[in-house]
Amino acid sequence: MTDKRIIFDKYLSLLEQKREAPSVEYLHKIVKSHLIKIPFENISKLLLKQKNATTIPDLVQYLEGIEKYNFGGTCYSNNYYLYLLLQHLGFEVKLCGCDMKNPDVHLISIVTIDNREFIVDGGYAAPFLEPMPRDLKTDYVIELGNEQYILKPKNDEEKSHLEQYHNGELKHWYTAKPQSRNFDEFEKVIRDSYADKAMFMNAILITRFFENGSIVLRNLNLTETIDGKTSAAKIVFEEIPELVNNKFGIPAELVRKAISKLSELKDTLS
């Protein structure tokens, strides 16, 4: 057994999945288990910043963080490694860039099965528990608590536009471009994401999804949505380490170290 296969077997084990032939059903299993098991979080990224990192952890380190500390990552690590997993499992998949206010600041995968394309996004801190079809005739809507996500039909350039609404107000969006990309093309944008003034060097965002809801810590705001019912609470900065330990399973001492350098908390919805 090759080292590569051993690593990806470990990945599947963490997702509580077995190897199967590529299919729409298997893609659904992988995507859902990835979203549920692996959070969007920037605690591990803040810790990497303290070690002068300029890129994502390697796959072995990434999986170790998931197993030992309940880490996940931000879009670059979560989506790149999900892409590599799908590729390893035999799916026809390409890594694609997305534009927000700036070009290529987000990654997704586009998977093709039976001549149908699906967007797979495990790194948007969003409840995309299923692959999202690209062959849309009308809007594809996902709702959870006070969040709504709308994927639009492809435009004339074959691009897919996704919008995020918070309490009915448009807050974020991205436009997914279907061209296949190499990961090293995103080297600069990833390096820039560790800059002193970068968003996730000056904020806290941890999101974990479940079959029936989610828990989100956005700076000092904790939102829990379970079975369609949403509750929100304000917390104080000093409560963060223990709260993150209790709600997300990330060790309090690591959280305390990660946030010790934060001098301000930027609004991640601005």
Please give the domain boundaries of the chain with CATH numbers for all domains: 3-259 (3.30.2140.20)
Between CA 69 and CA 257 the distance in angstroms is 14
| Residue indicated by tokens 């223990």 | 242
Query: pLDDT > 70: what percent of the chain?
Result: 99
The torsion angles phi and psi of 259, rounded to 5 degrees, stand at -90, 0
Ordered DSSP codes for 67-123: HHH---B-HHHHHHHHHHHHHHTT-EEEEEEEESSSTT-EEEEEEEETTEEEEE-SS
Torsion, Cα 57 58 64 70, to 10 degrees, reads 40
Token pair for 76: 């670059």
Q: What is the pTM of this model?
A: 0.97
Distance CA 37, CA 17 (A): 11
Going 38 to 42 to 48 to 50, the CA torsion angle's sign is negative
Q: What is the pLDDT of residues 206-261, one digit of tens each?
A: 999 999 999 999 999 999 999 999 999 999 999 999 999 999 999 999 999 999 99
6-24 average pLDDT score? 98
Q: For residues 270 and 261, what is the distance between their CA atoms, to the nearest angstrom?
A: 22
Residues 6+ apart with CB under 8 A from 253: 241
Measured CA to CA in angstroms, residue 214 lies from 37, 238, 252, 267 at distances of 12, 23, 20, 20
State the sign of the Cα–Cα–Cα–Cα dihedral 94, 99, 104, 106: negative
Model pLDDT for residues 77-101, shown as the tens digit of each residue: 999 999 999 999 999 999 999 999 9
* Mean of the per-residue pLDDT values of the chain: 97
Over its C-alpha atoms, the chain yields an Rg (Å, rounded) of: 18
